[in-house]
Structure 1
C-alpha cells in the first residue's frame, strides 16, 4: 500500500513539473496600460481629452431655484387669475467638444435645459406656444404647473460656419444682466440657423445667417373662426386664424366677405446680417433682418345681409399677397473698470416694420400671440400683430414697432453687484387697418361696438397704437465663486398712444352706448383708462459648475 501511494505521489509531482515547464514556454500577455484622463489646456479651464481621441471636452451645468411675486387684478380662473406667487426649479447640462484641425477649431456644443415651474408668471405661455414646454391638465394645476424640456443649444462650428440650434445672430444685449429677461428688446436665444462669420482682424467680424422664421412670427391679425360674429376676436387654439376680405359677384358688386386663412406658412427663411466689433473697451454691433409674411387662400364665404350664400356665377376676392418685414438694430457695450472692476453698460435700439419680434416689443407681455397684458385682469390688453389684411384690397398692411433699452451692471464689492434696467417701446398700425376691418365686421353682423360707424368703437382696445415702459433693478450676492443669491424688482406700464378704452378690470362688459362722450352699459357710465401698470419681485439662487 505504501508503495502504491508513493508511485501516485511521484507521478503527480512529475506531471506538475512538466506542465509548469510547458507553461513557461507560452507567451505572456501583458495587461493593457491604463489611459488616464489628460487635461486639455488649449481652450481654457475645465477641458480634458476624451480617452483615445484628440478631442477636448468640457462638461458644465447649472442648478437654479426661483420664486416670484407678481401683481394680479382678478381672482378669475382664466390666465392664472388671482395667482400671486410662482416657483421654478431649473437644471442645465452643457457639453462642449473641440478638436483642432487644419481648418481651425471644430466645435460641437449642446445644452439641455429641464425645468419644473408653477404659479404666476413663472409658468410661461411664451415657452408653451413655442413648443418648449407642456402644461399640467388638472383642475387646480391647469395653467399653473408646467414642465419645460428644451434642447436650448445644439450647433456645430467649423471654418467660420455655424449650423444648428443657436442664439440668433441678430441679437446683441439679449437681457444679459437680468435675472429673468423681460426688458423690451430682441432675445431669441434658441433658433435653427446656418451662418457664416468672416473675421477681418483688429476685432471686426461680419456674419450672414439664414434663420428659422417660425421663432420670429407674431400672428397676422385675424378672427377665431371663419364667419365669426366679431372680427375683433383673437384666434383660439384649434379654431384657425381668419380675416375678412370683400368679395364681389360677376358684376363687381360687393356681396360678402371671403374669409382668408391668415396662418403663416414656412416658405422662406429669415435673412440676418450683422457687423460686429470687439475690443478691450467693449463691443458694438449693427444688425439687420428680412422676414417674410404670407397668408393662405380664402377658405369660406360669408354673405352680406340680403345676399344668398350661393351667388350665381360665383364670387371673387383679391388674391393673397406676400410682404417682407424688416428690422435694424444697433447696440454698444462699454466696459467701465474705472468705476469698479466688472462694471459695464449696454445701450441698444431697434426699429422694425412687420417684424415685431425683432424689436422685442412683446417681450414682457408674452410673444407668439396676438395680445397680452401686464398682469392678469389688468385694464386692457396690448395688440401685437405684424400685419393686418386690408379687407378692401387683400394686401397686408404692416405694423411698425421700435424699442430702446439701457442696462448698467455695477459691482459694489467683489461679492455684491446690481443691475439697473430701463426700456421703452412703441407699436403702431396702419391708419386704415382698424377702421377697415371694423367696417367689414359690421357689414357681416358684428356688434356695433366694433364698427367705426358706432360711437362705442373709439373705446375698443383692439389694434390700438400703444407704448410700454419696463424698468427694474437687482441686487445679487456671490459669497463664493459661481454661486448667486439675488433679488430683482420690475415695473411695467402699457399705455395707449392716444384716446381711452373701457377699463375691463372695473367694467368687464361691452358698452351699449355713449352719453356725452362717456361709454355706457344699460345707461350706466363705464370707467375708462389710457394706461395700466404692474410690478413684480423675484429671487434666485443659482450655482454654475
Structure 2
C-alpha cells in the first residue's frame, strides 16, 4: 500500500463519520417568547396586569414604629407595675406595625370592578395600662369589592369615610369621631361628576354592644360637595341596637396652596346609651378643628383642637368634658420615609392636665 492510497482511505473514513454524526444531530426547538409583566397605568402608578388576565394589581403597605411617653393624665405613654415594689410607673408605649395592602381594578361593561384589602401585624405594649410587650393579634382591616358605586365587604363606616375622617395629627381621634368604626357593609355612593356625591350604607357594626342584634341594620346616609376651594359634607346615622342617632357636619377650606383648614361638629342622642358606634364621644356634642401648613417640599406643620361637651352635671374624668390640643411636624427624610414628632395636651374637667409626646417613623411603599 502506497502513501497515496493511505491518504485517500483516511479521507473517505472521515467523510463517512461526519455524515453519520450529521444524521444523528438533534434539532433544538426555538424557545417560546417570554411573557413579561405588563405595566397598567389605568388606575395610577404601581399597577401591573396579572398575567393572562385583564385585571390590574398593585401591592403596597408600610412599616411603622411608634414611641410615646407622657405623665399620669396624658393620652400618650403607658403605665405599668414596678417589678420590685409593685408601685405604678409611667413608661414608654412602643409599637411596631407592618401593614400589607392590595388593590385590583378591571374595566367591565357595568363599570370599574375594584377590590381592596389591608392586613395588619403588630408587636408592642398597650397605650393606657400595660404589663408587657408582645405580638398582637393579626387583624384584617379592610376586605371589600366595588362595582361602580356599589361596595360590599369590610370597610370603615360611611359615617367616617364620607366626612373625610379627622385631621393630620396622630392623635386626631383622641376624642373619637367614628374613625375606628370598621364594619361589614353594603353601601352605594353616587358621584354626579360635578363635585357632588351622596351615599347610603347598611352596616353590621362591631363589638359586643354595637354588632346588630336583629335583622335590622344600622343605617348611614350623607352627602359631600367638593370644589377647588375645599369641601362641605354631612352624615347622619341610626344605631338600630340602641335606637340612637348621630350626625356630623364638616367644612374643609384650602386657604392657600400651602394652608388647609377644617372644622367638624358632631351631635347625637344618648337616651339609651351614653356612647355608641356613631356617637363615641362623651356628651351630646363634640367639635374638632385643625390646620395643616406645607412649609416646604419636605416639612408639613399641623395642629388640631378637639373638645367634647361631656354629660351635663357629671364632670368626672371618665364622662366629663374633655379638651385635647395637638401639634407636630411631618418631615419627609427621603421619598417614602417620614418622621413625625408630636406633642399632645389633654384635660378632663376636674382633673389635672396631661402632657405627652409621640415620635413616629414610617416607611411607605
TM over 0.5: yes
1:424 aligns with 307
1:503 aligns with none
Matched position secondary structure for 1:67: strand
Q: 1:120 to 1:106 in 2, by over 3 A?
A: closer
Say how many residue pairs are matched.
342
* Contact 2:48/2:56 (<8 A) preserved: yes
Matched position secondary structure for 1:359: coil
Matched position secondary structure for 1:427: coil
* Contact 1:113/1:151 (<8 A) preserved: yes
Please give the alpha-carbon distance, in whole angstroms, between the structure 2 residues aligned to 1:75 and 1:81: 6
Structure 1: unaligned runs, 5 residues or longer:
1-5, 124-139, 219-262, 294-322, 363-399, 432-457, 496-529
The C-alpha deviation readout for 1:393-441, integer Å capped at 9, x for no partner, is xxxxxxx521100011112222222111101112338x9xxxxxxxxxx
Structure having the higher strand fraction is 2
1:540 aligns with 360
1:182 to 169, 173, 194: 173
Matched position secondary structure for 1:179: coil
Q: 1:75 to 1:161 in 2, by over 3 A?
A: closer
Please give the alpha-carbon distance, in whole angstroms, between the structure 2 residues aligned to 1:408 and 1:122: 31
Matched position secondary structure for 1:170: helix
1:152 aligns with 141
Please give the alpha-carbon distance, in whole angstroms, between the structure 2 residues aligned to 1:335 and 1:403: 23
Structure 2: unaligned runs, 5 residues or longer:
1-9, 74-78
Matched, 1:212 2:201: no
1:328 aligns with 247
Q: 1:188 to 1:107 in 2, by over 3 A?
A: same
The C-alpha deviation readout for 1:211-245, integer Å capped at 9, x for no partner, is 12225947xxxxxxxxxxxxxxxxxxxxxxxxxxx
The C-alpha deviation readout for 1:430-464, integer Å capped at 9, x for no partner, is x9xxxxxxxxxxxxxxxxxxxxxxxxxx9x959x8
The C-alpha deviation readout for 1:244-290, integer Å capped at 9, x for no partner, is xxxxxxxxxxxxxxxxxxx9835532111011112222222110111
* Contact 2:115/2:143 (<8 A) preserved: yes
* Contact 1:56/1:98 (<8 A) preserved: yes
Q: 1:35 to 1:188 in 2, by over 3 A?
A: same
Please give the alpha-carbon distance, in whole angstroms, between the structure 2 residues aligned to 1:40 and 1:487: 37
Matched, 1:99 2:99: no
2:331 to 469, 477, 483: 477
* Contact 2:203/2:219 (<8 A) preserved: yes
Matched position secondary structure for 2:45: coil
Q: 1:534 to 1:17 in 2, by over 3 A?
A: closer
1:410 aligns with 293
Matched position secondary structure for 1:476: strand
For normalisation by structure 2, the TM-score amounts to 0.82
Matched, 1:86 2:2: no
* Contact 1:71/1:84 (<8 A) preserved: no
* Contact 1:360/1:403 (<8 A) preserved: no
The C-alpha deviation readout for 1:466-512, integer Å capped at 9, x for no partner, is 211111111222132232112111111112xxxxxxxxxxxxxxxxx
- CA apart distance, 1:48: 1.6
Matched, 1:114 2:121: yes
1:318 aligns with none
* Backbone CA RMSD of aligned residues: 3.3
Matched, 1:352 2:268: yes
For normalisation by structure 1, the TM-score amounts to 0.56
Please give the alpha-carbon distance, in whole angstroms, between the structure 2 residues aligned to 1:407 and 1:212: 31
